[in-house]
Amino acid sequence: MGRTSNARDRLIDAANELIWNHSYGAVTIEMICEQARVRKGSFYYFFDSKSTLAATALLVWGTKRKQLIEELAPPEAPPLERIWKYLDLVAANQIAAYEKNGRVLGCPFFTLGSEICKQDEQLRSVLQEILAYFSHTFEEAIRRAQASGDLKGTDAAMKGRLLWAYYEGTLTRARIKNDPELLRTLSADARALMGARQLQLS
């Protein structure tokens, strides 16, 4: 076939951007092809359906986010430093998106999962894998912080779920209210939540 263009990457980028800005159901293959500047025939050369493209796009986005978290703080940094920096970065990106298009977009993984979890098993499975990774990352950071004495208490799994629920809940609430102000203290409030809860949960 000898195809050497970056059409596949453009389709993936277009799918991520359009689904995040709109919704999975509202985005068509035609919209993705137009955004990516790729012919519809070329779409089917790379992907057999919108679902397959979306699953691939989510995995690519998730991989980039995993790499980003690893790069946010050196290994010798306090265990929770990556989490706080990640929350700061997410808030900054969400606010920038709001300033660009007038909408808080929320978490693409959580939003898409809420939309299609009962309709598309392929996407549901990919989303579950990605969300489980991030939830586990939060939990492991808390476990290490407890081991180092940076955080009191012993129930890292429960505190990890609490922190993850706060993170997703705040992004979702900001999206529903279309209010970026809810995100400006995302990291600071997460720190306070862990500190405020540690006496009750330890």
**What's the rounded Cα separation, in Å, for the pair 198 and 196?**
6
Rounded-to-integer distance, Cα 158 and Cα 12, Å: 35
- Give residue 194's pLDDT band: very low, low, confident or very high (50, 70, 90): confident
User: What pLDDT was estimated at residue 118?
Assistant: 77
Whole-structure pTM value: 0.84
Domain boundaries, the chain: 54-201
Does 4 score more than 60 pLDDT? no
7-11, 169-173, 193-197: the lowest-pLDDT one: 193-197
Residue 195 pLDDT > 60: yes
Least confident of 22-26, 152-156, 194-198: 194-198
As a CATH number, domain 54-201 is 1.10.357.10
pLDDT value for 202: 32
What are the tens digits of pLDDT across the range 123-178? 889 999 998 998 999 999 999 999 988 888 778 999 999 999 999 999 999 999 99
CB 91 within 8 A of CB 187: yes
* pLDDT at site 149: 86
Whether the pLDDT of residue 197 is over 70: the answer is no
41 or 4: whose pLDDT is higher? 41
Per residue in 59-117, pLDDT (tens digit) is 999 999 889 988 998 888 888 998 999 999 999 999 999 999 899 999 988 888 888 87
Query: Per-residue pLDDT averaged across 12-31, rounded?
Result: 93
Q: What is the 3-state secondary structure (H, E, C) of the chain?
A: CCCCCCHHHHHHHHHHHHHHHCCCCCCCHHHHHHHHCCCHHHHHHHCCCHHHHHHHHHHHHHHHHHHHHHHCCCCCCCCCHHHHHHHHHHHHHHHHHHHHHCCCCCCHHHHHHHHHCCCCHHHHHHHHHHHHHHHHHHHHHHHHHHHHCCCCCCCHHHHHHHHHHHHHHHHHHHHHHCCHHHHCCHHHHHHHHHHHHHHHHC
